[in-house]
Amino acid sequence: MLLKLKKHNNKITTYIAIIVDSGFFYLQLFMNPRIVNLQEKKIVGLKSKMLQHQYGNIVALWKQFMPRKKEILNTSNSELIALQNYSDFGNFEKPFDIWACVEVTDLNVIPEGILFNTIPKGEYAVFPHKGMDASATYQKIMTEWLPNSGYQIGNRPHFQVMGEKYKQGSPDSEEDFYVPVKRR
């Protein structure tokens, strides 16, 4: 077994390399998010309610939103935002709001049937995610990184930003998970 330090985006990540049949298998030990102070973001899109593990609701919402996205003329960028707003984070019996949305420059022009919201300013831990298993990454954030981080969950929306490296349905897809945090 070999301990290896790898630098990525000016962050050092620790890996264990296990030799398997003359090849290397890397297991990431520590997650190193960027901590950012986010300014308020104005968003527009569609929302729905869901309970934990009702993933079909997410797919249905995006199928409704994507054809309407072209009606939004004042987008800030080309990124898509998937947002979750919990009224009682951690209570899996309570439904929460999910959004399929984009950031906009202002809320002056909103197409009919499209909703608006804001992501409040605050501190976020930003985790890069690659691949198809978003729930596994989120589980690691909550069970491995958070308890050892000196942070706790903040009372703001959680969201994912899908930029130019996002490739729907591809194991090479990349996105960023924004987790609201506050110091303990």
91-114 residue pLDDT tens: 989 999 999 999 999 999 999 999
Residues 6+ apart with CB under 8 A from 6: 12, 13, 14, 15
Closest CA to 144 of 37, 32, 35: 32
Alpha helices by DSSP H, listed for 83-179, are 134-140
And the tokens for 76?
């800030």
CB atoms within 10 A of CB 18: 12
Q: What is the pTM of this model?
A: 0.83
pLDDT tens by residue, 63-96:
999 999 999 999 999 999 999 999 999 898 999 9
Q: How far apart are CA 102 and CA 154, in angstroms?
A: 22
Q: How far apart are CA 82 and CA 50, in angstroms?
A: 13
pLDDT below 50 — which residues of the chain? 1-29
